[in-house]
Amino acid sequence: MMLTTGSTPALGQHVLRSHKVALEITSVALKAAEGEASWVAEVGVGAGALTAALLQNPACAGVVGFELDERILSQALEKGSVIRRYHPICRDVPEAARTLRREAWEDHLTGRSRCFVFKGDFLTCRAVPSRCRIAVGNLPYKISTAVVTKLLCQEPPMQRVVLMLQAEFARKLLAKPGSVKFGRVSALVQALCSNAQFAIPGVLTPDVFSPPPRVDSAVVFLELHQVPLSHRGVEVPAAALDQLLRLLLDTRGPTRSEGLEVRLTEVAERVAAQSLPETWRLAMARAGVDPAKPPVAMGTEEFVALTAELRNLGFASDAVQRDISVSSYITPPHQLRVRLKPGKSHEDLFVEEAACSYAALRFKLRQDEKAAEVAPATKVRNNTKNPLHFWFIDNFLSPKFKVWGRFDLIPSESGASWACRVPTATAGAGIHPADGCEATSADLSKQRYNFKYDFVTYKWPSWLNPQSMPPRREAAADMGIQVLFPQDVPKIIFIDADQVVRADVKELWDLDLKGNVYGFVPMGDTNPDTEGFRFWKQGYWKSHLGGKPYHISALFVVDLMEFRRTSIGETLRGVYNQLSRDPNSLANLDQDLPNFAQHQVPIFTLPTEWLWCETWCSQESKQSAKTIDLCQNPLTKEPKIVMAKRIISEWQTRPPRQLLIQLADLGIP
């Protein structure tokens, strides 16, 4: 039996629709139930397949479910649905859930029903209702770590946790100390669980989900210790152990399986520098932990012992409040102890807000529009009062731009004909980072120019399938963005050289991408004349997209902080290497690659007014356009210079040479 439903792609959900798999998970979760029936907490109710399977089992007293997606929840609760027969009580997650302890949840579970469904984010809840000793769930990959950590750190502890996870994450979760996949969450599992294993042999194929994921899944079974952790009589709460593991094992970086050496954390590095606080030195000595030992090589007992000794020394105990007088800029050092607010344990405390707007102009090699390549910079500058920093990708600058632009843009006293000197060593993905360049434009703020700019370049990585055509080589920038720009650049707006910007790019910069790495504009769909050329609405692309929009790569936003944190570049390069073996695939590489991979790397769809082109969009929608792009028209094959003069008013009043002059002297009206 299969259930069909739709989920919200931005949430990364793949709803379980196999009744058979739901019964297997239920059997594992409720096995060896002794005495009275058990209540179960379910994270991600989805279409209700797992909820119904639980309620059908006599060993289940009831279910308390959580679901963030309102659309899919309404489908699960509609008349005739699989869980409607159990008369579920649906409520919003209470505001007080951020501070509610486990036993306090009982006040919100009133009513004669075996099924309570709470609409909202499970991660905002401090605890699981005390009546629930078992937890199950089908988790989106992006929140797997946070949910697993929350379930493992409940006080009093859960009895059993059974979760559907991506197979790769499941292997990391069950990794042993010393393994290349060993990390913070696997260390937590090793310490808190008496039994941790795959609940169902093998992996689950994508066809048991809707929509089908691009990766395999697995079900993990965790049996938790019911006796608190301790060391030499000092109790070690699970939350305290997790805080130590956050310090020692950074889960946000790449694993060693991605080609890195064992990564020493800040604690180990400070040991090497002889600058570790005395409290840590003493705790390590008492716990019998070698200060030079890499955290990934430490065993469970060592983590527990170190946590206990730190608490014994007062490092992790409740802070004693006392007043400190600060009367000088030079004061004795004081140790400040802080604690995370309830519900905030999974959030990063060190994400900085964007201080200014960055834009990148991606210059493609054209045969007929080289004189137009600097026009976008003028329009971007004229339509915003915010700071701008242009990053020109050197690989795609035409010879004409290098002759005009280098001499017109760079102050003559610099004495250099190139904006950056490329280092001989390559970084990470084989791309030269901007902070390795010697930019001669750093002092532009002293000139009359009202924006900063730099030039970046890259080499095609030797270990990626090669591309000889320049337009296809351009996609390497998309696959290696994390090292193309300096690490302190939080966000980038990519703009093709043949675009005219008519709005403030700060609006685009400030758009909330809803946790996604990318924001792209969907291809236009309002010009009926080119309907037959919309390849993404037919054949292979229509089947592959599965209802998702096909996006245009002429303008897009990248959250670089999230891109680096999630190692999305690794995913894109893996997809590219697999598909590029076929020379007929990825015809428009920089555009086809992110669209093909959006099942693994979700795309936030930007408002359509952010990109208008005559080929795909109606004339009526041009009035609200914020950028105009010179898309190639397959019906007319009109040269872009001719097209620009015809459809863009700016080109009717200023020839290309004047645009170059205006870029060099923004004081000209």
Asked whether residue 459 falls in the same domain as residue 365, the answer is yes
Cβ-based burial of 410 (10 A; exposed 0-12, middle 13-18, buried ≥19) = buried
pLDDT-derived band at 244 (thresholds 50, 70, 90) equals: confident
Last residue of a domain, one of 227, 262, 286: 227
Are 214 and 135 part of one and the same domain?
Answer: yes
Mean pLDDT to the nearest integer, 652-664: 49
At residue 339, the pLDDT reads 58
pLDDT exceeds 90 at position 173: yes
The predicted structure's pLDDT at residue 250: 57
Q: Please list, in sequence order, all residues whose beta carbon lies within 8 angstroms of the beta carbon of residue 384, skipping any fewer than 6 positions away.
A: 357, 504, 505, 506
Residue 327 lies in a domain: no
Look at 203-207, 414-418, 502-506 and tell me which has the smallest mean pLDDT.
Answer: 414-418
3-state secondary structure 585-609: CCCCHHHHHHHHHHHCCCEEECCHH
Helices (H) and strands (E) in the chain, counts: 23, 21
pLDDT-derived band of residue 400, with 50, 70 and 90 as boundaries?
Answer: low
pTM (2 decimals)?
0.49
264: pLDDT strictly greater than 60 = no
The pLDDT value recorded for residue 654 is 53
396: domain CATH number is 3.90.550.10
Model confidence band, residue 416 (pLDDT cutoffs 50, 70, 90): very low
For residue 149, the surrounding DSSP H or E stretch is helix 144-152
Per-residue model confidence (pLDDT) at position 504: 85
The per-residue pLDDT for 454 is 77
Which pLDDT score, from 0 to 100, does residue 220 have? 96
Verify that 640 and 542 share a domain, yes or no. Answer: yes
**CA 4 centroid distance within chain:** 28
Predicted confidence (pLDDT) per residue in 421-453, tens digit: 222 222 333 333 333 333 333 343 334 446 777
**Predicted pLDDT of residue 380:** 64
Q: How far apart are the first and last CA of the chain?
A: 69
| 274 has pLDDT over 50 | no
234 pLDDT higher than 60: yes
Whether 175 and 240 share a structural domain: no
Whole-angstrom CA distances from 276 to 103, 273, 331, 397 are 40, 8, 20, 49
Inform me whether the pLDDT recorded for 510 exceeds 50. yes
Token pair of 356 as six digits:
């200014």
| Residue 251 pLDDT | 45
Q: Higher pLDDT residue, 79 or 443?
A: 79
Q: What is the pLDDT of residue 221?
A: 96
Return the number of other C-beta atoms located less than 10 Å from residue 433's C-beta: 20
318 located within any domain: no
pLDDT higher than 70, residue 414: no
Q: Final residue of a domain: which of 207, 227, 247?
A: 227
Within this chain, do residues 248 and 375 fall inside the same structural domain, yes or no?
A: no
Are 72 and 130 within one domain? yes
Please tell me the predicted confidence (pLDDT) of residue 353: 35
Q: Same domain for 263 and 376?
A: no
What is the DSSP secondary structure assignment for residue 394, as one 8-state letter? G
Do both 160 and 300 map to the same domain? no
What is the chain's Cα-based Rg?
Answer: 28
pLDDT digits (tens, 9 = 90+) for 567-611: 888 888 888 877 777 766 766 777 888 888 898 889 999 999 999
pLDDT in tens, 305-326: 999 988 887 764 443 455 666 6
- The model's confidence at residue 263, banded by pLDDT at 50, 70 and 90, is very low
**420 pLDDT exceeds 70?**
no
CATH number, domain containing residue 250 = 1.10.8
**Per-residue pLDDT, 441:** 38
Q: 173 and 189 in contact (C-beta within 8 Å)?
A: yes
Residue at 274 is within a domain:
yes
pLDDT of residue 105: 93
CA angle 219, 220, 226 (to 5 degrees): 150
CATH number of the domain where residue 17 is located: 3.40.50.150
Task: Look at residue 345 and tell me whether its pLDDT is greater than 80.
Answer: no
Over residues 38-45, the mean pLDDT reads: 94
628, pLDDT greater than 70: yes
User: What pLDDT is stored for residue 16 in this prediction?
Assistant: 84
Domain residues for 552?
A: 358-664
Domain count, the chain: 3
| Tens digit of each residue's pLDDT (9 = 90 or more) over 185-200 | 999 999 999 999 999 9
Q: Are 552 and 487 contained in the same domain?
A: yes
CA 292 to chain centre: 33
> 656 pLDDT exceeds 70?
no
pLDDT digits over 127-169, tens only? 999 999 999 999 988 889 999 999 999 999 999 999 999 999 9
Indicate if the pLDDT at residue 114 is higher than 90. Answer: yes
Average pLDDT along the chain: 75
Question: 294 and 182 share a domain?
Answer: no
Q: Are residues 191 and 239 in the same domain?
A: no
Residue at 219 is within a domain: yes
Query: How confident is the model over 647-656, as a mean pLDDT?
Result: 66
Pair of tokens at residue 332: 């004795």
Instruction: Tell whether 188 and 275 lie within a shared domain.
Output: no
pLDDT digits (tens, 9 = 90+) for 516-563: 998 999 999 999 999 999 999 998 899 999 899 999 988 899 988 888
Percent of the chain with pLDDT over 70: 68
pLDDT band at residue 615, thresholds of 50, 70 and 90?
Answer: very high
Structure confidence by residue, pLDDT tens digits, 355-377: 233 334 443 333 333 334 444 55
Q: Is residue 69 part of a domain?
A: yes
For residue 490, pLDDT beyond 80: yes
- Residue 346: pLDDT over 60: no
| Domain contains 325 | no
What pLDDT sits at residue 95?
87
DSSP string, 177-197: TTSTT--HHHHHHHHHEEEEE
17, part of any domain:
yes
Any domain includes 337? no
